[in-house]
Amino acid sequence: MEFTEESKIFRIKPDLDRIYNSIVCQLLLLCEIKAAGTVDPLPSWNRGAAKTAIFNFVANVTDSSNPDYVPPDERIAVMDSDGTLICEKPDSLQFLFIRDRVKDLAHEHPEWKCQEPFRSLLSGKRSAEHEFSARENEIMKLATNANVTVEEYMALVGKWMNTTKHTRFGVPYDECVYKPMKELISFLKANDFKVYIVTGSYADFLRAFSKDAYGIPSEHVIGSNNRKSFEDNDMETDIVILPEIWNKNEGIDKAEYIWLFTGQRPIFAYGNSDGDIQMLQYATGRNNAGIALFNLHDDSSRE
């Protein structure tokens, strides 16, 4: 794969001094690993340009004598979720959860038997995410996410993640995280990066399992959101999810919400779809030390 300067995603063709410095920094990092008696921090990664680029990048930004040095407080890494950190085939996790929720709630909504898109889903006429329009998916999302407290919703998601098994792999969905990406998150955190998940999925959906699945706390999840309502009933206070979209965290919005929720420009970004492009550009624009990586995610046979 050839990456060009126009993409502004990878740092291409650095000068000879930078090449020399990168090689030296990587050798120093590998020497430190060997001296410490530890193993390769990314053992599941194949040798190649991507792994070398990651090692070079981390060595450069953590070396205070390097011109690309970045203080720990400014080491922000952002990553997409579906298809980047976890299996997205045959459908996204959130759609699979919504599909099961529609079936679970159908007895409370007899009108769904005559209403689309619920009728098609319940009858089995349509069952895959791509068979429904964006608007139809939004209708089902609002119908199944809303009118519960955030704690109730996250408990429902957590239970579903732990008890529902992937149709192909036969394990709970929270065990379908890509091992190389878990290694990468651990490697970045070990080098004082603050790692955020930036996803088009509903933020509270990811927050329900981000700590257990990825080692990333809920406050480091940036995603789409419904509007919320503060409810005060005789001193029993709750945040209730409303059936109304507040934001959709895709494309340009990803870059804007990174700033809104972190107040910083990331220097490391990782994605897998065109909805991640602006996030990758944001990490590399106006910042020579920034790096972005992109999964070529159309190989379902090897997922």
Provide the whole-model pTM: 0.84
pLDDT single digits (tens) 114-167: 999 999 999 999 999 999 999 999 999 999 988 999 999 999 999 999 888 888
CB burial of residue 172 (10 Å; 0-12, 13-18, 19+): middle
Q: What pLDDT was estimated at residue 6?
A: 37
Give the model's pLDDT for residue 158.
92
Domains contained in the chain, CATH given: 5-86+171-302 (3.40.50.1000), 93-163 (no CATH)
Instruction: Return the ∠ at Cα 143 (arms to 211 and 152), rounded to 5°.
Output: 40
Q: Give the residue from 215, 195, 184, 205 showing the smallest Cα distance to 78.
A: 195
In this model, does residue 174 exceed pLDDT 60?
A: yes
299 vs 155, which has greater pLDDT? 155
- 78-117 confidence digits (pLDDT tens): 999 999 999 887 788 999 999 999 999 999 999 999 999 9
Q: Which residues of 250-282 are buried (b: 16+ CB within 10 A; e: fewer)?
A: bbebbbebbeebbeebbbbbbbbbebbbbbbbb
Question: pLDDT tens for residues 245-275?
Answer: 999 999 999 999 999 999 999 999 999 988 9
If we measure between CA atoms, which residue out of 284, 279, 271, 273 comes closest to residue 253? Answer: 279
What percent of the chain lies above the pLDDT cut of 90?
A: 71
